[in-house]
Structure 1
Amino acid sequence: MTNIPSSALIEQELRERLGALAAAFVADLEAQGRIVGPGGAIALEQLRTHVEARKNLPPTFQLAVDTIIDDCGYPRDAAVRVVTALQRKRLLCDDGEPESQHAFPSPSPDTSPVRGARVVQIGRPRPPFTAVPITPVAATPVDRPAAWTAAQARAVTLASRLREQHGEQAGVTEISPDRERVGVAIRAASLDDWTYWLTAIGAPLELRTWTAGYAQMALGSIDGVETRLVAHDVPRLLRDAELAAGEPYFLWGRMYDLSRGQLDSRGITWLYLGQRQENGMPLLTVRGGASALYPLTSIVVAHGHLTPVDAARTAPAAEQPAAPAGGEE
């Protein structure tokens, strides 16, 4: 015997199939972005109506509505009603482009406002341009080569020459003209740097130097132009040399170690045997020569500054220097 399904079962099966079909259809619409939320249809309809209405409005009408919304804070519906009322009173032109917002329009004879009516200016007029007068400023005079004196010009030339000849030396920080003289600043790494620059600035043999803070100062002259040397760290280097020397003696910017032999410019070695003048000036004699003694100052003036050598170094016994001025027998 065959069982025939009842009508209730058939209706239930149809509802399930239709429900599944509807769910699939809705899911497809959502994937395409064609379903809006509650009230969305009304909002879309209002938006469509607004867009179509704007297409049919003249540019002047649209500009007036936007101006009232932006400047006065009115809602769009109220702004549309205000502009419509102005248009009915012939206070707003219906056709043509709006007037420039930066000028005051002149009403034409056929568009004159009704007597007693208030004319509404659309847009914000800009005040007329006013030229600002420019007041000339007096130029500040500066030093120019034409205003230099001959001495200043020589200082500039000498500074340029010193930079060209010695600018590559290590420790140089400045070589520049200072009115009628040239200033040189260095940071010495050793006393060799100090003695090098004493020669470079034309310092005399009988040099008088002085200490200023952490720098040793010295004056020289080249071609009639005064030079000034500022040598940083030299006071410390001189103190270190004094502590390291067996018999230190400072003379004219140099620290001598008289416990060592001193070589002059001719290659002759001088020795200090512990004797001095009454004023404390050391007396030196030629190694391997006669027993004549000469002041250190006289030797330096006659043969230049001395260079320390090993005291044990021997020299020919026949070397006999010319007696420096001021020597003692």
Structure 2
Amino acid sequence: MNGNLPQAITMIRELLAGDGDVASAIGHALDGAGLLVDPERTFGAVLRRTPQGWAPVAPATQPAPPEPTELEQQASDWDTACQRAAQLVDVVRATYAAEPDFVGVRADKDTVVISLQIAELSRWAGWMSTLGIVEHQLTGLDYVVCGRTTIGDVPVSVLAYDLPEVQLVVQAKARRPYRHAGLIYDLAVGHKDITGDTWYFHGDYSAEGMPLLSKDGRPERYSLAGVVDMLGPILPVREPVTAAQGGERG
């Protein structure tokens, strides 16, 4: 039984003894006593009688929010892009802060800028491989090289300070320098790949002028670019290859 029923019966008896619009008086009295359910204000389920029994009353549908304007959508997208960049800064700092050539990282609006101090060309080769930087994404000045890439859809600029000077020193020391993908390889020495195998140049070039390398003196020849792409970065080992011929190309 509804717990409000005894109170409602008592109130109706009292009001029936009065004068005037008894029905209206009873309705207002019950409402004022909180004995009537207001479907617009209740926080519970409102029920209605159906042939199948009591069923909840469907709430009034709320109008859908208006579609954002083009300007509002652009502003929202910009805020989201800046937030992604700020989040990436934290990830990069946590991942690479311990590296010896890592200087810092910062957000520049919706992009990220990573600063490095390069002292060895092999370190830059490792950074290019790790961050996915390729040669056509490189630009440089006298004291810095800038590589552009993306990490998780966030544009990233990598500033490699002192790299141009390091490249000049490496090229001056190399007996047979060859530039590929922003790096300088001395074809007069062997180069070790990530599996530990050493590749040598013996004077052969492809039709496009790319040096051809052989692994540990085997007869098969593979292009320097292919070896770098599949097994790079490859790092020099100081074992001169006396059979190597030809000068600098590229």
Query: TM-score interval w.r.t. the shorter chain?
Result: 0.5 to 0.7
Partner of 1:300: 228
Structure ranking higher in strand proportion: 2
8 Å CA contact 2:187–2:200 kept in 1: the answer is yes
Note the alpha carbon deviations across 1:142-176, whole angstroms, 9 max, x for none: xxxx9952222111111111112222434544311
Cα gap change, 1:225 to 1:163, in 2 (>3 Å): same
Amino acid corresponding to residue 87 of structure 2 in structure 1: T
Q: 2:196 aligns with which of 267, 270, 274?
A: 267
What TM-score does the superposition give when structure 2 sets the normalisation length? 0.59
8 Å CA contact 1:209–1:216 kept in 2: the answer is yes
Partner of 1:142: none
* Cα distance in structure 2, aligned partners of 1:156 and 1:279: 43
8 Å CA contact 1:186–1:232 kept in 2: the answer is yes
Are residues 1:175 and 2:109 paired?
A: no
Cα gap change, 1:310 to 1:177, in 2 (>3 Å): same
Partner of 2:174: 245
| TM-aligned CA deviation for residue 218 of structure 1 | 0.7
Question: What percent of counterpart residues are identical?
Answer: 27
8 Å CA contact 1:261–1:272 kept in 2: the answer is yes
Query: What is the SS of the residue equivalent to 2:239?
Result: coil
8 Å CA contact 1:205–1:305 kept in 2: the answer is no
8 Å CA contact 2:200–2:217 kept in 1: the answer is no
Partner of 2:25: none
* Cα distance in structure 2, aligned partners of 1:149 and 1:273: 55
Query: What is the SS of the residue equivalent to 1:285?
Result: strand
* Cα distance in structure 2, aligned partners of 1:199 and 1:293: 23
State how many pairs are aligned.
Answer: 166
* Cα distance in structure 1, aligned partners of 2:193 and 2:134: 14
For residues 202-281 of structure 1, what are the structure 2 equivalents within 5 Å?
A: 202-204=131-133, 208-281=137-210
Note the alpha carbon deviations across 1:6-60, whole angstroms, 9 max, x for none: xxxxxxxxxxxxxxxxxxxxxxxxxxxxxxxxxxxxxxxxxxxxxxxxxxxxxxx
Query: What is the SS of the residue equivalent to 2:89?
Result: helix
| TM-aligned CA deviation for residue 205 of structure 1 | 5.2
Cα gap change, 1:174 to 1:207, in 2 (>3 Å): same
For residues 1-329 of structure 1, what are the structure 2 equivalents within 5 Å?
A: 149-200=79-130, 202-204=131-133, 208-289=137-218, 291-311=219-239
Larger Rg: 1
Amino acid corresponding to residue 311 of structure 1 in structure 2: E
* Cα distance in structure 1, aligned partners of 2:176 and 2:137: 21
Which structure has the higher relative contact order (CA within 8 Å, separation 6+)? 2
Amino acid corresponding to residue 221 of structure 1 in structure 2: T
Pairwise CA RMSD of aligned residues?
2.5
Note the alpha carbon deviations across 1:164-222, whole angstroms, 9 max, x for none: 2222434544311112221012232332442343345x124566422123111111222
Amino acid corresponding to residue 255 of structure 1 in structure 2: I
List runs of 5+ in structure 2 lacking aligned partners. 1-75, 242-250
Amino acid corresponding to residue 294 of structure 1 in structure 2: Y
| TM-aligned CA deviation for residue 241 of structure 1 | 0.1
Note the alpha carbon deviations across 1:274-314, whole angstroms, 9 max, x for none: 1112332111112232x22221111112222211124379x
